[in-house]
Structure 1
Amino acid sequence: MLFTFIPVFSQPTTVHGKVTDQETGEPIPFVTILFKKTPIGTTTDSLGVFQLISKNKVDSIQFTTVGYLGKSFGIKPFTTNELDVKLKPDLIKISEVIALPNDAPVRRILKEMIARKKQNNPAKYPRYSYRKYTKWEYHLNNVGNKMMQSRAFKNNQNVFKTAEDSTKFLPIYFSEQLVYNEIQRNPSKQKSTVLADKTSGVGVLDDYEISGFTSALDMEVNFYDNYIDLFSQNFVSPLADNGWFYYKYFLADSTMHNGVKNYRIEFIPRRVGDKVFKGFMTTENKDFSLLEVDGTLASTSYLNFLKSMQLKSTYQFVSDSVPFFRRNQIDAIFNYVPLKNNPSKKPISLFFTQSAVIDSVSVNQEKDVILAKGNGKFETIKLPDSKDRDQNYWETHRLEELNPREKLVSATIDSVSQIKAVKFVDNLTRMSMTGYYDLGRFEFGPYASTINTNKVEGLHLFAGARTSSEISTHYMIWGGLGYGFRNKKFNGIAGYGYKFPTINRQIIKFSYDDKIVRSGENEKILFLYENALSPTENNLISQVFKRDELDELFREQKLSTSYEYEWHPGLSNKISANYIRHFSPEFYPFMRAGMPVDYVSAVDFSVDTRFSWQEKVIDDKFLRVYMNTDYPIIHIAIGGGKVFYSGKENYYGKVFTTIEQYWKIGQTGFNYAIEGGMYFGKLPYTMLDIPRGNETQGLFSYDFNLLNYMEYVHDKYLHAYLEYHLNGFVFNRVPLLRRIGLREVLSAKTMIGSLSDKNQQIVEFPSSISKMSNPYLELGAGVENIFRLFRVEAIWRVNNKSLLGAPTFGLRAKFEIKL
């Protein structure tokens, strides 16, 4: 008998199923589910599906969520239970609000809260400082036996940990940081001093440093703002000025604390399809300031990858009267499963949590914030021993203790990093960012140039490499050799760079390039495509999807040196000196007075100044990846030099500028970029501005997609690129389209320019080039987020009919990954 009962009680209690609205049948996401009289719980996913497991004896389970009546069920312990749960809307509360729309207590309270937002917002003070302790954690949730028993992990079972609901997870990142922040509004100055910093991460998560306007200074969540900007999305705050348009509010409770009445206000979405939360907030009747907010994202069906998110914020009173932040926490789960064949089985997902605790607050100080660079706006300073703090320091300086899971995650990550399969995936991730595959002391790449084909070279093969940080973290040597099978010529690159061991970014480079380039390609393309590994669009992908022959190519030899100096975050200069030689193109040969010209050359000098504000970046040796900023990014470059041709020479000058910004407008986004420039003196057409056309079926944000290359050449030009992303603002309100997750996008691109005939004194213009009599204009309308991965746009060339046969209408597509 004993052996008969052992298997029964060793089996855990499992409950799975789906929660839906009793009246509409729609799934209810983020329902709180608990085994009664235990802390074991979970929430439903965006489809209302759940699973909860316990090894302890439990016999009942309860379901609760804002806007619905709670429900409890009896279950059989130590077996698998399947439940189809239908919750009834809490119509009593809704009817109470509707019955008294003008004078209901909740409206009066919210009116007071919104009226006093400015005076209660902690970010209002002209000067303030505080100490902040932040923790970040990532791990893979819902790891199944298939992964655990795979070849990669079967000998490393110790890296998998057990969550409270008995599922397995794999830790991959844990970091904690203690900083002291000082903020000043006028003139604007922000300073963050890193007191202690400890990071344990797998591969790139450990090596890459996020700097600039870091999370040390960024509060991430401020419910006093109308919108909460997270993961490149704008979510509507329940305390937004127009919150009643997005939310329904209910006065749930009121209590007395020290003679002050506290109100608990619950909120739910007014409609489906908005980026809003459901949850509660508490306030008091003295100043009507926020005391606590707990909000769960109401629906993620219109978002990619983000499957759930919960925000928790608490506030404190400094000196019993000054409202200020106390604690923020963000919990989110990401995954990508386009097809769900088994809804009851949770897929592997990435769990992310960030929490920040604040103390030592001081407001309205008399002294200004002092920066190391007096003319700067903000800076981050790391104390010399900030990364070397011992365990005793952390135990005495943490503003809150690590919980058992955090201790477990932190202790496991080093073991995960040593697994061969993890290292391989890490190398692929690095390669996607840097263009090079890590082989230890050397890195192979850039991968995009390994194989190519075009009309000049035919099949072109290239092999290149560079030194890695295992050889040096201060200098880098790179090189590569290629061969074209049609023109039977070798070409290659070589270079050396040194990064100075200084606080401010400071790099010097020397390089030689000999390669085939497309007419119009030059370094100023990188002012807009800043994270591109190269200014060239001459690659295999462009050949596969071409709509016209790629023949606007010529050989360029370039000897270059540059020095880059960052004065302070957001302001940098780059000084460049180049010797450039352009050889006569095979299909657009250089001609002068009816005679062929073999090549033209130039000695060129330029100074580029780059401005940005509150920008996050990732630095990896010589590579800098620009992450995001809500403000414009501006480049201003001036230069000049001497051009040599047919035994003659003359001086020239140039000036050009770009401005780019992604501007969030409510839940939509407007992206614009403007570039303009002017050349003085005479130059060959290959060194002037050749507007970037697009002779592929692909879609480019900063190219003219229905323009052929070599239609126009300008020595004075102005280009504008506009995109308006509605992010499903219309489609999410159409029931048949809501579940598909499609998003609307509109675009417009225009340019004006002129060209002086004096430039033909060097080489004559090709016959394909025509002068622009009217502004060029193309308009587009399309759909993003097709299968979560593609954007397709219909484009019309409205003005300036092409003399080269470029289409007046076309469908263009691009691959893109967005939240």
Structure 2
Amino acid sequence: MRQTLLFIAFLFTSLLWSQTKVSGTVIDEYDEPVAFANVIFKDSNEGTITDENGRFYLESDDSYEAIWVSFVGYELNIVELDRRTTYELVVTLKEEAAALDQVVVYSGKTSKKDNPALDILRKIWENKRENGVRQFKQYSYDKYEKLEFDLNTIDSALVQSKIFRGMEFIFEQVDTSNVTGNTYLPIFVNEEISKVYGDNILGKEKEILEGNKNSGFENNQSIIAFTQDLYSDYNVYDNYLKFFNKAFTSPLSTTGIDVYNYVLLDSAYRDNKWCYNIVYYPRRKNELTFKGDFWVNDSTWAIKEINLQASKSANLNWVREVYIEQEFDVLNDSIFLITKDYFLSDFSLRKKEGARGVYGKRTTFYNNYVFDEPKDKAFYKEQIDPYQYEIYNRPDSFWEEKRVEPLSKDEKGVYKMLDTLKTVPRFKALYDVGATLASGYYEFKNFDYGPIFSTFGYNEAEGIRVRAGGRTYFGQNDLWRLEGYVAYGFRDNKFKYGISGKWLVDRESRLILFGGNRRDVEQTGARLTATTDVLGRSLASSALITVGANDQLTNLNLTTVGFELEPVKNFTTRFRVTYRTLRSATDAFSLSWLDEDGQVQNEIKQPALEVILGFTPGRRTIGYGVERKVINEEKFPVFFLGYGVGLKDFLGGDFDYQKVQGLYTQPWNIGGFGRAWTTLEAGKIFGDVPLGLLSPIPGNQTLWSIYNTFNQLDFYEFVSDTYVSFHLQHNFGGRIFSRIPGIRKLNLREVVGFRAVYGSISDANVALNVDRQGNPIIYQAPEDVYWEWSVGVGNIFKVFRIDFNFRGNYLDNPGARQFGVTGTFGFSF
């Protein structure tokens, strides 16, 4: 009872902060909802529009006694408000009989002919390249960005739940969203001040961080980066707006006529500029579209204001609501520059109204524009220390001066509330559980145990395998890190181990020294381009269930030392010295070879020197220590080039060879047609080497769909010393299924794949390989280009995809698998 009264008191207090709140539904005389109707506080410019179900929510800090509700073809309805807070209001609009002969009323699908809204839209297309900072040679501006997470749909049941026992004080910050009308509790706020410089001639832009302040926890950078990546910068004039790894069709897109209905609703002065008001809404359900309206100037055809609300039927996981609002100001009477960008998303496990969730908000202000003041090209190349203590510890006076928008009362309270919350033992326990599930490590003081998901495994050589390991962890910006593990196999009765160390010598150039040693059982050849570190391990080595015998395993002893450097952002160079010994881990598999005297050798000893170049344009990372986390892994291309030299007779080395490898992976956003990934790999070995040093074409005998492998190939079915492979995977994002009645509600997504590889192997390399008794083993290369294809259904229960794989050729190979089914779990929007 005490908690209920406490909640009511807090709710009452929050209601006092906003003077007028009203929500409800607008219907016509036939009880049908009126979508996109105008709802405005009387005698004001504060208003909103109803959604496709006729629902609305409106809030103001001022006191109002009535609202105006209107729509084209209907009489204006003035609704009196007898209370400061009025919820679940039902407003009925009557058809305007006197205007029926004069007004064209658009409902359902609007016509593409004789529609004045489309004539205005075409004017926007003609002039969109002349708006904003792109009209100047150089530009700079100040940028203030505020990120916030809120727990929403706060009710008495949540307040009284056991999970918050002892933490009831947090509900003092409850407020109500002016977009959704739901109560919410701010739980995280981050502020950032930066200066942005750009040069349209050079095609360069640079952002310099001047201040960062947050109310979060020690590992808050992960939350900040995750949110910033979700809400990556977009331009409403572009044909597609890309966030959540999806491409939404913009209402200003040149393809918008085929996707949206447009209605010219009104015209009026907006900040002394005559503008037209156009309402838009989707033509079809289940597509990545918006509904909303925008104001466009009648001479420059530039957008003055726009709001976008994602269609509730859009094929989007875990997101119940997306709302975007942008405002533009006028410079020199003709140029419109963005001044405010507001983005809200409502994350929830269920889309059902009333289900609890989390708001993610980003509010960005742009001001102090300066134009045509050039900077040297060197300015844009200059490296800046990525972590400066003073930037993250600015005094309150700095923020009071620099904030474009003052913090609200509830936002100010979050800083104090979270400082108190972190001292509550129950919260700390809940936080530890969440952190363990997210990172895979359980945190002790200065040490993390894990990864916990690698504790158990199975393969033919080791049988059941158990593993325990951990790493040093003083903070996410540690300059050094030690990591190691111990494992035991119950079939071979052997212990395995791995240990590695890294030290960040120079933070600016990211000079890292590293080294380590691993003795373990491994499925070598699971990848063509080997880029894993000394503790890397493939899924193929420990899959619990496999197709066919998974017994072609290797006892590996690998030692590595080297250094890594990043002279230019996202361009890394790595030099390493490796020493490997390889032996077969099972009786059914042979790594034996014939030496120059014709003697059978069962072990390969091989020192090598390797130089690796990597370039990942567009990659964003968090952390400034020896290890960083990539936050937009699926968005940037990857270029890789490796060169290795095998050393014979040095430290007992067995072979002289040179090895060249290259890889190029590219993600493709194909607008409304979904998202694709392509990978091209090529490599060649110069010199004579046995199986353990060759390049097996990576098969996949697990039940998991593993990108860059061939699902219908067995391990070592093809082996090469020269290869070129190509992989394509395309996710249509539900574009086809959304047009099939009865299926569209499932929000399934179509996935297709194609994989091909050419390879060859010299006679000399084939002749080196024998079994333990010296009998020749003949390995085959895919000289006729092996290929396979797949079709899949994704987004099953929002987390699972099943692929049906078909082998294209080499059907007569012994044990060839012509058809197979694989699957994969994953979190995606």
1:618: which partner in 2?
622
Cα distance in 2, alignment partners of residues 191 and 78 from structure 1 = 47
Cα offsets for 1:95-122 (capped at 9, x unmatched): 4999985554333322221101111143
C-alpha displacement of 1:764: 3.2
CA contact (8 A) 1:604 1:640 kept: yes
Partner of 1:759: 765
- With over 3 angstroms needed to count, the CA separation of the structure-2 counterparts of 1:734 and 1:538, relative to structure 1, is closer
The alignment status of 1:562 with 2:575, answered yes or no, reads no
1:597 alignment partner in structure 2: 601
**Of 490, 495, 501, the match for 1:485:** 490
Counterpart-to-counterpart distance in 2, 1:225 and 1:725: 22
**Which of 213, 224, 228 does residue 198 from structure 1 map onto?**
213
Superposed counterparts of 1:311-710, under 5 Å: 311-337=324-350, 346-371=354-379, 373=381, 385-431=390-436, 434-469=439-474, 473-500=478-505, 502-521=507-526, 524-526=529-531, 534-538=536-540, 542-543=543-544, 545-586=545-586, 587-593=588-594, 596-619=600-623, 621-628=625-632, 630-643=635-648, 649-667=654-672, 668-710=674-716
Instruction: Kindly state the Cα deviation for residue 322 of structure 1 after the two structures are TM-superposed.
Output: 3.3
Question: Residue 474 of structure 2: SS of its match in structure 1?
Answer: coil
Within a 5 Å distance, the mapping from 1:23-422 to structure 2 comes to 93-95=104-106, 101-102=112-113, 104-123=115-134, 125-160=136-171, 161-164=173-176, 169-202=184-217, 204-206=219-221, 210=225, 220-256=233-269, 260-337=273-350, 346-371=354-379, 373=381, 385-422=390-427
Aligned to 2:346, what secondary structure does the other structure show? strand
| Unaligned residue ranges in structure 1 (runs of 5+) | 1-7
Asked if residue 787 in structure 1 is aligned to residue 802 in structure 2, the reply is no
Residues 712 and 807, structure 2, Cα contact 8 Å, conserved in 1: yes
Superposed displacement of residue 779, structure 1: 1.0
Distance 1:697 1:522, change over 3 A: closer
Name the structure 1 match of 2:749.
743
Give the distance between the partners of 1:65 and 1:301, measured in 2 at CA: 25
Bigger fraction of residues in strand: 1
Q: Is the 8 A contact 1:674 1:719 kept in 2?
A: yes
- More off after superposition, 623-632 vs 88-97: 88-97
Q: Which residue of 2 aligns with 1:733?
A: 739
Task: Give distance in 1, aligned partners of 2:209 and 2:49.
Answer: 36
1:516, distance to aligned residue in structure 2 (A): 0.4
What letter matches 1:111 in structure 2?
R
More displaced 10-residue stretch of structure 1: 634-643 or 658-667: 634-643
Tell me: CA distance 1:39–1:315, structure 2 relative to 1, closer, same or farther (3 Å).
Answer: closer
Per the alignment, do residues 486 and 167 of structure 1 end up closer, same or farther by CA in structure 2, a change over 3 Å counting? same
TM-score (norm 1): 0.86
Deviates more, 1:142-151 or 1:329-338: 142-151
206 and 533 in structure 1: CA distance in 2 versus 1, 3 angstrom threshold: farther
Task: Return the alpha-carbon distance in structure 1 between the equivalents of residues 476 and 729 of structure 2.
Answer: 44
229-238 vs 804-813, greater mean Cα deviation: 804-813
Letter aligned with residue 175 of structure 1: N
What CA deviation, in whole Å up to 9, does each residue of 1:165-199 have, x standing for no partner? 79664433211111011112343322211111112
Question: Cα gap change, 1:95/1:468 in structure 2, threshold over 3 Å: closer, same or farther?
Answer: closer
For 1:714 and 1:66, the matched residues in 2 are separated by 70
SS in 1 for 2:153: strand
Deviates more, 1:248-257 or 1:435-444: 248-257
CA–CA distance in structure 2, aligned partners of residues 67 and 731 of structure 1: 36
Q: Which runs of 5+ in 2 are unaligned?
A: 1-7, 16-20
Deviation at 1:224, TM superposition (A): 1.4
Pair 1:719 & 2:721 matched = no
Check the 8 A contact 1:520/1:689 in 2, yes or no: yes
List per-residue Cα deviations over 1:569-628 (Å, max 9, x = no partner).
221112221111112342212333586423111112212111122222233744333232
- Evaluate the alpha carbon distance shift between residue 29 and residue 104 of structure 1 in structure 2; reply closer, same or farther with a 3 A threshold: closer
CA distance in 1, matches of 2:39, 2:781: 69
Deviations 1:41-70 (A, max 9, x none): 99999988999999x999999988999999
Given that 2:310 and 2:323 are in contact with CA atoms closer than 8 Å, whether structure 1 keeps it comes out as yes
Q: CA deviation at 1:367?
A: 3.4
Relative to structure 1, the CA distance from residue 81 to residue 291 in structure 2 (aligned partners, 3 Å threshold; closer, same or farther) is closer
The alpha-carbon deviation at position 303 of structure 1 amounts to 0.9
- Which has the larger displacement, 481-490 or 202-211? 202-211
Question: 1:457, CA displacement in angstroms?
Answer: 1.0
CA contact (8 A) 1:199 1:206 kept: no
- 85 and 241 in structure 1: CA distance in 2 versus 1, 3 angstrom threshold: same
C-alpha distance 648-358 of structure 1, shift in aligned 2 (>3 A)? closer
For residues 795 and 523 of structure 1, the distance between their equivalents in structure 2, rounded to whole angstroms, comes to 20
Letter in 1 for 2:145: T
Please name the residue that 2:18 is paired with: none
TM-score, length-scaled by structure 2? 0.85
C-alpha separation in 1, matches of 2:822 and 2:74? 46
Q: Work out the CA distance in 2 between the residues paired with 1:79 and 1:373.
A: 55
Q: How far apart, CA to CA, are the structure 2 residues paired with 1:453 and 1:227?
A: 46
Kept after mapping to 2: 8 A contact 1:672/1:723: yes
Once residues 126 and 301 of structure 2 are traced to their aligned partners in structure 1, the CA distance between those partners, rounded to angstroms, is 9
Cα 1:602–1:49, aligned 2, differ >3 Å: closer, same or farther? farther
- Of residues 350-359 and 95-104 in structure 1, the stretch that sits farther from structure 2 once superposed is 95-104
Percent sequence identity over matched residues? 25
| Cα distance between partner residues in 2 of 1:214 and 1:670 | 23
Partner of 1:4: none
CA distance in 1, matches of 2:52, 2:490: 54
Partners of 1:133 and 1:431 lie apart in 2 by 33
Aligned partners of 2:789, 2:28: CA distance in 1, in Å?
Answer: 43
Rounded Cα–Cα distance in structure 2 between residues aligned with 1:733 and 1:262: 37
Q: Is 1:798 the equivalent of 2:812?
A: no
2:202 partner letter: P
Q: Using a 3 Å threshold, how does the CA distance of structure 1 residues 706 and 194 change in structure 2: closer, same or farther?
A: same
* Equivalent-residue separation in structure 1 for 2:146 and 2:320 (angstroms): 21
Instruction: State whether residues 289 and 311 of structure 2, in contact with CA within 8 Å, keep that contact through their aligned partners in structure 1.
Output: yes
Residues 401-423 of structure 1: per-residue CA shift (max 9 Å, x gap): 11223222333222334444544
| Structure 2 partner of 1:817 | 827
Range moving further from structure 2, 42-51 or 780-789: 42-51
